[in-house]
């Protein structure tokens, strides 16, 4: 049975396991750091420092850099797993796909595994990440014990909650590479079971869904069954689902497979509000359930058409391939050219993740459904972990993305495009969403286009705290400023 023999061994057992292609080891990591530093020194003193990487999960344009990027090619694996301590040392550019492949060998997973395989651990920490464990485990940076960070000044410093660089530790999340790049992260791991039993609970009222969400987050149960994983999908105001997962040593049926012809998000739908629809996945397939179809975005490429999907190579049913197709569209403006031939206006990309307090879940969802022609919508609750780490500010523990301790938020993800409105400014729809999110006491992630003015951006994303960190760790401004990078797209 798949994964039934996952080990929960000791450090000694870890050393006996042969290294895989996803593992660097200490020597490999040291060599990768040397290449990184050499590439930094090769950039002129007045040159802008950026990464040289083949993949990205950012959805905002940026100016071309005339200088070579930092060589991070040697920082893409797991350095060491210590199953006895429940920790892993991981290179900053290691993808979650590679990280999970290693940790599952020992029966562990990171506390939070973002939905797409090519997201890197360093990227999820500096740019935030979220998943269905976030209602109990918070965000990826909260399970980081310490980080080695290449700062803008060219030094590698170690940042931890109570060390001399604790200000950088707490300020690094949501800095998007403008304070430095993580080369190594030591993270906590949690033990996982081989299977995840799923219940797809249908609601015909956004308010009823919100009420159940609040109760599940508080008690971590639903109808007397434990809830270990929690997210949801809104198709319409009267067809919305919470997907409840329970970790299990055994499976009540053969696990489903959504890596081929079957499509995961369509499996969620059903018509019975009284009885949840049940399913089961292996832990690995559960962690990557959204990647095969990039949630539902693969439909834009015809990959959900049964006639096309039957012949679509299975190895290309993954988010990284769809991202390449998006890249071609951006480069050659294919979508807008096709729209023009049909007599349609150009499209505005609306690719965002936002958070609002849980009590505003139904209000935001209803407003979005009434005003933005995009569906489905993903939702995922989150809470900062408690107790707070030593040295954390009780009011703003992570100052560049200041969620309130003890408060539940709900992330909404929506990834599509809408027709532009003649006479309206660039980003008209995105600006409307930003305004509504602010009205509901929320925030948005910065991986995509943003249109805030500088004053509001300061209030939302760190302000003076960020400027002090910038002055200390990047005094010559070798790295871009956060507002310049996130809003001005420099």
Predicted confidence (pLDDT) per residue in 240-253, tens digit = 999 999 999 999 89
What pLDDT is recorded for position 65? Answer: 60
**DSSP code string of 395-406:** S-SSTTS-PPTT
Mean pLDDT to the nearest integer, 202-214: 98
16 pLDDT higher than 90: no
Q: Which two tokens stand for residue 231?
A: 């997210």
**pLDDT tens digits along 404-427:** 999 999 999 999 999 999 999 999
218 pLDDT higher than 50: yes
**pLDDT tens digits along 467-488:** 999 999 999 999 999 999 999 8
Please give the span between the terminal C-alpha atoms of the chain, in angstroms, as a whole number.
50
Between 23 and 18, whose confidence is greater?
23
Mean pLDDT to the nearest integer, 79-93: 97
What are the extents of the domains in the chain?
Answer: 11-191, 195-289
What pLDDT is recorded for position 258? Answer: 98
Per DSSP bridges, beta strands 180-191 and 108-110 are antiparallel
Q: Which two tokens stand for residue 28?
A: 């490999």
- Report percent pLDDT > 70 for the chain: 93
Choosing among 3.40.50.300, 2.40.50.140, 3.30.465.10, 3.40.50.9100, the CATH entry for 11-191 is 3.30.465.10
What pLDDT is recorded for position 13? Answer: 43
**pLDDT tens digits along 342-352:** 877 889 999 99
Cα separation, 341 vs 356, whole angstroms: 39
The residue among 87, 109, 107 whose CA lies nearest residue 98 is: 109
Is the distance from CB of 50 to CB of 65 less than 8 angstroms? yes
For 415, the 3-state DSSP assignment is: strand
Q: How far is CA 394 from the centre of its chain?
A: 25
What pLDDT is recorded for position 429? Answer: 97
9 pLDDT higher than 50: no
Positions of E strands within 78-128: 78-82, 87-91, 108-110
**Cα 120–Cα 232–Cα 314 angle in degrees, nearest 5:** 55
Cα separation, 240 vs 365, whole angstroms: 10
Cα separation, 123 vs 443, whole angstroms: 19
57 falls in which pLDDT band (50, 70, 90)?
Answer: low
Cα separation, 213 vs 292, whole angstroms: 26
What pLDDT is recorded for position 267? Answer: 98
Instruction: Supply φ then ψ for residue 244, to 5 degrees.
Output: -105, 125
**pLDDT tens digits along 364-410:** 999 999 999 999 999 999 999 998 898 899 989 999 998 999 999 99
* 3-class DSSP string for 262-314: CCHHHHCCCCCCCCCEEEEEEHHHHHCCCCCCCCCHHHHHCCCCHHHHCCCCH
Tokens 């600006």 -> residue: 431
User: What radius of gyration, in Å, describes the C-alpha atoms of the chain?
Assistant: 22
What pLDDT is recorded for position 250? Answer: 95
What pLDDT is recorded for position 77? Answer: 94
**pLDDT tens digits along 444-456:** 999 999 999 999 9
Alpha-carbon distances of 475 from 46, 48, 278, rounded to whole Å:
13, 13, 55
């Amino acid at each position: 049975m798949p994964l039934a023999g996952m080990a929960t061994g000791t450090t000694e057992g870890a050393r006996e396991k042969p290294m895989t292609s996803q593992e660097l080891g200490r020597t490999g990591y040291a060599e990768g750091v040397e290449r990184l530093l050499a590439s930094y020194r090769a950039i002129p003193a007045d040159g802008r420092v950026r990464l040289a990487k083949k993949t990205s999960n950012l959805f905002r344009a940026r100016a071309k850099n005339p200088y070579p990027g930092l060589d991070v090619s040697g920082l893409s694996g797991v350095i060491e797993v210590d199953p006895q301590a429940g920790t892993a040392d991981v290179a900053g550019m290691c993808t979650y796909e590679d990280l999970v492949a290693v940790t599952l060998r020992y029966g562990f997973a990171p506390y939070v595994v973002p939905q797409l395989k090519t997201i890197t651990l360093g990227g999820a920490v500096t740019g935030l990440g979220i998943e269905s464990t976030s209602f109990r485990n918070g965000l990826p940076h909260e399970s980081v014990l310490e980080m080695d960070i290449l700062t803008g000044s060219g030094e590698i410093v170690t940042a931890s909650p109570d060390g001399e660089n604790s200000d950088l530790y707490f300020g690094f999340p949501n800095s998007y590479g403008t304070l430095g790049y993580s080369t190594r992260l030591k993270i906590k791991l949690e033990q996982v079971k081989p299977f995840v039993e799923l219940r797809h609970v249908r609601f015909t009222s956004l308010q009823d869904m919100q009420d159940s969400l609040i109760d599940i987050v508080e008690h971590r149960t639903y109808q007397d069954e434990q809830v270990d994983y929690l997210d949801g999908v809104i198709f319409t105001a009267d067809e919305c689902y919470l997907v409840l997962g329970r970790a299990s040593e055994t499976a009540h049926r053969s696990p489903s497979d959504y890596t081929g012809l079957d499509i995961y998000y369509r499996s969620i739908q059903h018509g019975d509000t009284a009885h949840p629809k049940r399913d089961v996945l292996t832990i690995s397939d559960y962690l990557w359930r959204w990647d095969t179809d990039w949630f539902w975005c693969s439909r834009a490429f015809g990959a959900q058409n049964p006639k096309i999907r039957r012949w679509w190579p299975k190895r290309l049913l993954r988010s990284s391939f769809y991202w390449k197709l998006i890249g071609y569209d951006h480069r050659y403006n294919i979508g807008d050219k096709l729209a023009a031939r049909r007599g349609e206006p150009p499209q505005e990309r609306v690719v965002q993740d936002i958070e609002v307090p849980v009590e505003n879940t139904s209000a935001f969802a209803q407003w979005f459904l009434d005003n933005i022609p995009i569906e489905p919508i993903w939702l995922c609750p989150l809470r900062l972990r408690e107790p707070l780490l030593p040295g954390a500010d009780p009011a703003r523990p992570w100052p560049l993305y200041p969620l309130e301790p003890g408060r539940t938020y709900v992330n909404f993800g929506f990834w599509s495009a809408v027709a532009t409105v003649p006479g309206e400014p660039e980003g008209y729809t995105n600006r409307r969403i930003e305004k509504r999110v602010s009205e509901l006491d929320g925030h948005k992630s910065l991986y995509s286009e943003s249109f805030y003015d500088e004053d509001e951006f300061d209030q939302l994303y760190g302000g003076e705290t960020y400027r002090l960190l910038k002055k200390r760790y990047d005094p010559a401004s070798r790295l871009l400023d956060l507002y310049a990078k996130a809003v001005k797209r420099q």
